[in-house]
Amino acid sequence: AELKTPLPHAAGSLADTYGDFQRLVQPYIAGNIHPRFMGWVQGGGNPVGVLAEMLAATLNANLGGRDHAPIEVEREVIRWSAEMLGFPTTTTGVLVTGTSVANLIALLVARTQAMGAGVRKEGLAGHKLVAYTSPATHNCVLRAMDMAGLGTQALRLIPLDEHHKISLVELAAAVRRDREAGLQPFLVIGTAGTVDTGAVDDLTGIARFCQQESLWFHVDAAFGALAMLSPAQRPLLAGIEAADSVAFDFHKWAQVPYDAGCVLVRDGVKHAAAFATHVNYLHRETRGLAAGHPWPTDYGPDLSRGFRALKVWMTFKVYGADKLGQIVAQCCDLAQRLAARVEREPELELLSAVTLNVVCFRFTASSQELDRLNTDIAIDLQESGIAVPSTTKVDGKQAIRAAIVNHRTTAEDIDILLDAVIAAGRRLDGYTSTGNRLNPATADEPQ
Ligand SMILES: *Cc1c(COP(=O)(O)O)cnc(C)c1O
């Protein structure tokens, strides 16, 4: 309520405004800089990124295009990204808000390849395109189908196999069926690190299939991509280097402050074919500020763009890719520790195998309806401020979900989370910590 004021017409004092920030904003953040924030998949940020954001704001660079050093920094970040993923030197890319937009851009490139450049003029009328992914796909992939005008119905959700990976047998059958029905399969989207369980699709298998069937192979590697920097996890992503495009975030596992997502396209000519246009007021020259063709605006929907690349560039230069890889490994080790303790605790149940950094489990020692109870446990922990897990469904069961992304998280944080889950489960179930049932009327009181 205090934030709601009329438009401030008169000048105010910077000191008072900073005071308002400290009083009204800073204490009430979601908390993803905290080591026990494990909800959704959110990065922890880093101090070099803080400095980079201030430097970027000072330069106030506009990276839509033109010939200046900030654009070269972004190109360097794209080259590093291509190197990280094993992509060739033909790769182009662009930094965007996040993987949601990066997935949309890749989908539009694939669409233009499938329908020809004419689609950009003529539109999609009567299109027969069909895309394929698994039900574990992120919702932004459905939104991308919607926003690209293809419709979410044109996205086939191929069932998962027993390892929570897209079933290649079902994928092949669906593509065959759609071709027989006169439709035009054009795109398969693999996931490297699903939001629900952190599972990684068989990227090599999908790549081979897409090659045989002449389909575009895109990988949503929003957080998973950074596992390429960890020798222990890298083999899980085998096949990503064969993708036509990859979308991922620096603001998750690379610890870069929000927002910083990235799309890479293996064949830069195809990338530009989906976005480049010519208008007189953005005409390119070979000298002067209008040089430096192609421009980032040729690779995505934005014209004016901020200097996101600086915080990525500085984070990699100061900490080094090896250190970021060690953080990935550390998060995965902590996830294994969490899973092992869940399996030791008789009141808890592990709901899926741990591939990377996501652990899904639930409190089961209760006579209550478990889906509701586990939702309430997660909310209680969030409100308590002790730790932040989120929730999801795994095989139809409501799971408490911890995604360990933050470089500050330690083994002690894992133990505090689990102790708090067990305590909340017992309390919400009406038991004291010694296992005695409380009077339901007093069950809500603090112990
Ligand atoms: C986080 C995430 C997204 C969305 O990325 P944003 O950066 O939030 O736009 C997409 N896919 C997966 C697998 C994710 O984890």
Q: Which of 285, 302, 319 is the last residue of a domain?
A: 319
Please report the pLDDT score of residue 280 as a whole number.
86
Q: At residue 238, does pLDDT exceed 90?
A: yes
Structure-block tokens of residue 73: 């920094």
Residue pair 157/134 in contact (Cβ under 8 Å)? The answer is yes
273 shares its domain with 328: no
pLDDT tens for each residue of 121-136: 999 988 999 999 999 9
Q: Tell me the C-alpha distance between 29 and 43, whole Å.
A: 14
- Averaged pLDDT, 376-382: 97
Report the relative pairing of strands 397-403 and 390-394 from DSSP bridges: antiparallel
Q: Which of 319, 354, 373 is the last residue of a domain?
A: 319
- Averaged pLDDT, 406-422: 98
Distance of CA 303 to the CA centre of its chain: 23
The number of the ligand 1 atom at minimal distance from the alpha carbon of 98 is 7
Please report the pLDDT score of residue 444 as a whole number.
46
Nearest Cα residue to 94 out of 306, 324, 284? 306
156 shares its domain with 60: yes
Q: At residue 272, does pLDDT exceed 50?
A: yes
Say if ligand 1 is within 6 A of residue 195 CB. Answer: yes
Report how far ligand 1's centroid is from the alpha carbon of 310 (Å).
21
Say if ligand 1 is within 6 A of residue 248 CB. Answer: no
Report how far ligand 1's centroid is from the alpha carbon of 357 (Å).
15
374 shares its domain with 236: no
Report how far ligand 1's centroid is from the alpha carbon of 305 (Å).
20
Report how far ligand 1's centroid is from the alpha carbon of 275 (Å).
23
Q: Which residues of 179-193 are buried (b: 16+ CB within 10 A; e: fewer)?
A: eeeebebbbbbbbbb
Nearest Cα residue to 356 out of 373, 339, 369? 339
Nearest Cα residue to 234 out of 347, 102, 84? 84
Which CATH number goes with the domain that contains 78?
3.40.640.10
Nearest Cα residue to 404 out of 361, 358, 343, 360? 358
Say if ligand 1 is within 6 A of residue 361 CB. Answer: no
311 shares its domain with 333: no
Which CATH number goes with the domain that contains 339?
3.90.1150.10
138 shares its domain with 203: yes
Distance of CA 375 to the CA centre of its chain: 23
Tokens 């995505």 belong to 300
Q: At residue 445, does pLDDT exceed 70?
A: no
Q: How many domains does the chain divide into? A: 2
Residue pair 408/398 in contact (Cβ under 8 Å)? The answer is no
- 404 located within any domain: yes
Amino acid identity, position 277:
T
182 shares its domain with 243: yes
Say if ligand 1 is within 6 A of residue 144 CB. Answer: no
- Residues belonging to the chain: 447
Tokens 């897209």 belong to 166
Say if ligand 1 is within 6 A of residue 222 CB. Answer: yes
Say if ligand 1 is within 6 A of residue 374 CB. Answer: no
Report how far ligand 1's centroid is from the alpha carbon of 370 (Å).
28
What single-letter DSSP state applies at residue 166?
A: B
Preceding omega of 259 cis (within 30 degrees of 0): yes
Provide φ and ψ at 322, rounded to 5°: -65, -40
Structure-block tokens of residue 314: 């500085």
94 shares its domain with 153: yes
DSSP codes of every residue in 184-224 = EEEEEEEEBS-TTT--B--HHHHHHHHHHHT-EEEEE-TTG
Residue pair 359/335 in contact (Cβ under 8 Å)? The answer is yes
- 226 located within any domain: yes
308 shares its domain with 326: no
Q: Would you call 71 helix, strand, or coil by DSSP?
A: helix
Please report the pLDDT score of residue 424 as a whole number.
96
290 shares its domain with 268: yes
292 shares its domain with 377: no
Report how far ligand 1's centroid is from the alpha carbon of 15 (Å).
37
246 shares its domain with 310: yes
| Region at 72 (left for phi over 0; alpha for psi -120 to 50; beta for the rest) | alpha
Provide φ and ψ at 60, rounded to 5°: 50, 45
Q: Tell me the C-alpha distance between 40 and 99, whole Å.
A: 14
Q: Which residues, other chains included, contact 154 with Cβ-Cβ below 8 Å and sequence gap of 6+?
A: 127, 129, 130, 131, 145
Tokens 């895109």 belong to 218
Report how far ligand 1's centroid is from the alpha carbon of 414 (Å).
24
Say if ligand 1 is within 6 A of residue 98 CB. Answer: yes
187 CB-side CA count, 13 A: 32
Distance of CA 41 to the CA centre of its chain: 7
Structure-block tokens of residue 237: 């992503």
The number of the ligand 1 atom at minimal distance from the alpha carbon of 137 is 13
Q: At residue 447, does pLDDT exceed 70?
A: no
Q: At residue 15, does pLDDT exceed 80?
A: yes
- 4 located within any domain: no
Say if ligand 1 is within 6 A of residue 338 CB. Answer: no
pLDDT tens for each residue of 57-93: 999 999 999 999 999 999 999 999 999 999 999 999 9
- 17 located within any domain: no
Domain that holds residue 224: 48-319
Say if ligand 1 is within 6 A of residue 359 CB. Answer: no
Q: At residue 162, does pLDDT exceed 90?
A: no
pLDDT tens for each residue of 96-153: 999 999 999 999 999 999 999 999 999 998 899 999 999 999 999 999 999 999 999 9
Q: At residue 434, does pLDDT exceed 80?
A: no
Say if ligand 1 is within 6 A of residue 261 CB. Answer: yes
Residue pair 247/103 in contact (Cβ under 8 Å)? The answer is yes
Report how far ligand 1's centroid is from the alpha carbon of 278 (Å).
32
Please report the pLDDT score of residue 279 as a whole number.
86
Please report the pLDDT score of residue 431 as a whole number.
56
- 22 located within any domain: no
Tally of CB atoms within 10 A around 380: 17
Q: Tell me the C-alpha distance between 30 and 202, whole Å.
A: 34
- 328 located within any domain: yes
Query: Could you give the C-alpha distances from 285 to 61, 282, 302, in angstroms and in order?
Result: 20, 10, 20
Please report the pLDDT score of residue 282 as a whole number.
85
355 shares its domain with 279: no
- 136 located within any domain: yes
**Summary mean pLDDT of the chain:** 95
- 168 located within any domain: yes
